Structure 1
Amino acid sequence: MAAEHDSCCSRCVTFLITIGLTALFLWLSLRVDEPKCYLDYIYVPALNKTLNSNSTHNKNTTILFALKLTNGNKDKGIQYDDVLLSFRVFESVNLTRPLGNATVQRFYQGHQKKATKHGNFSGGGGNLTAAVAGRMWYRVDYATAVKYKILFWYTKRHRLWGGANVEIGDSGMKVYRKAVRLGGKNPVVIESGASKLSGRYRALLLSLLLPFCGLWV
């Protein structure tokens, strides 16, 4: 009887360990981290005060930029929809004026990969300059949707958006060389609008484990 009891306990412990490892594997497989989006570079020739005032550069309405996107997931790829960008200039602390829009074409990004996307657009012929307390500020916002590739299938689309205020210096480029996060916890940044995914995957994990839990009721 003791041997049978030990054997039953051993099977129960083995079963519980198996369920625990399965739950951990499913959680790790389904958990995703949203990508991070940065404004890596921006150049406005018309704002470059080091150029000759009669130079055609100063009459140029083109705005050049580079967007950097990072996928921190170790084993999940990301399929991006078109990334829509809008650029505005601050005319006062609480007032902005549109400069133009740009689009980064949809693309796929492998796990733990970084991508830099260059682009440019015309400021529409309007005035690209304004000053707030003697400083030049642009507002840059983005919006897109992504699907995560987990093993051989994709999740449904999840919307992402964010933005940041960017100070432009006398060179026509942003004052600080470090890439500016378009989303996050910085006070001058709008947090990403991504829906929180963890709760959904916890619910899915629970639904997968409930049948096993019934065996012990």
Structure 2
Amino acid sequence: MNSRVGFCLCTLIILAVTLSISVTLYLMANIHRGPRFYVKEFYVPALDLSQLPTTSNNNNKSNFINNTIITNPCLFFDLAFLNIEYERIVRYGDVNLTFSYGRNNNAVANYVVRSFDQWWWEVDYRREVVESQGVPWEDAVKAVLNGSKVVFRVDLAARPKFKRQFGTYSKKKDVRIGADVEVDGTGLKVKRKDIRLNSAASHRGVGIYVLFLSLLVVWECFCF
């Protein structure tokens, strides 16, 4: 029994050291990886209840819903590009943006940001508007009228390449990231801070790795 306890303690110590090294390497690999992308502003005028008629009877609400469907199905967004690559220039290919509605990621709009170059620690903004199609506006407006929030998603796909000031460009790197954006009855995103677009895959990979090591320790402690 004592030998088993000692073995488990030794294994736990090894696990703790391994996890510490893994997390450190992960942070070192990601803390200075660029570029980064942020949704600074997101506005859906069709969900702006300030446009609602002052008389709040059911007929006016119904008319408001129908009018928003017809008159303004647009999405306004302000996207920030930040290059944090030390002394490196980023050359973007075309950056493809996909806007979706709801948790099921039903695509409702697409937009292409044309290729451009960006210097180290430079910030570029793209303030644009895109017309959406297929948004269930009646359901969305009813939701915000009831005080709930609706979710839009912004997904970004690009293949940038990098170079130092007097070097040559690297191979293109695939970037596929996204973020959910909650919108309320103001038509604006609920989160006032900038929303960073992230890749869930990298975080999921670390989680799977940690889970695997934890299960390995449990198996060794109870099966030997």
1:173 to 188, 207, 212: 188
Aligned residues: 154
Secondary structure, counterpart of 1:158 in structure 2: coil
| TM-score normalised by length of structure 1 | 0.63
CA distance in 1 between partners of 2:127 and 2:112 (Å): 10
- How far apart are the structure 1 equivalents of 2:94 and 2:188? 25
Q: Which runs of 4+ in 1 moved over 6 A?
A: 54-57
Structure-2 separation of matches of 1:166 and 1:191: 19
Tell me, in whole angstroms, the C-alpha distance in 1 between the residues paired with 2:91 and 2:45. Answer: 33
Cα distance change on mapping 1:165 and 1:126 into 2, 3 Å: closer
2:96 to 77, 81, 84: 84
Partner of 2:82: 70
- Partner residue in 2 for 1:38: 38
Structure 2 residue aligned with 1:158: 173
Does the 8 Å CA contact 1:82/1:105 hold for their aligned counterparts?
yes
User: 1:127: how far off?
Assistant: 2.9
What SS does structure 1 have at the residue aligned with 2:78? Answer: strand
Residues of 1 paired with 2:86 and 2:161: CA distance?
15
Deviation of 1:46 after TM superposition, in Å, equals 0.2
1:61-210 to 2 correspondence within 5 Å? 61-90=73-102, 94-124=103-133, 126-128=135-137, 130=140, 131=143, 134-150=148-164, 151-183=166-198, 190-191=200-201
Q: CA deviation at 1:97?
A: 2.4
- Report what 2:19 is aligned to: none
Structure 1 residue 192: Cα displacement: 6.7
CA separation of 1:57 and 1:72: change in aligned 2, threshold 3 A: farther
Give the structure with the larger helix fraction: 2
- Residue 47 (structure 2) aligns with: 47
Rounded Cα–Cα distance in structure 2 between residues aligned with 1:77 and 1:37: 16
1:155, distance to aligned residue in structure 2 (A): 0.6
Q: Quick one: structure 1 residues 66 and 182, their matched pair in 2 at CA, closer, same or farther if it must change by over 3 Å?
A: same
Q: Which has the higher strand share?
A: 1
In structure 2, the gaps of 5 or more residues are 1-31, 54-62, 204-224
Q: Distance in 2 between matches of 1:57 and 1:33?
A: 45
Aligned partners of 1:153, 1:49: CA distance in 2, in Å? 52
Conservation of the 8 A alpha-carbon contact between 2:149 and 2:185: no
- How far apart are the structure 2 equivalents of 1:149 and 1:57? 50
1:88/1:97 contact within 8 Å kept: yes
Contact 1:144 1:159 in 2 (8 A): yes
Residue 167 to residue 50, structure 1, CA distance change in 2 (3 Å): same
Q: Is the 8 A contact 1:104 1:119 kept in 2?
A: no
Percent of matched pairs sharing the same residue: 29
CA RMSD of aligned residues (A): 2.6
CA distance in 1, matches of 2:119, 2:131: 32
Contact 1:78 1:109 in 2 (8 A): yes
Shift of 1:124: 2.2
Q: CA deviation at 1:86?
A: 0.7
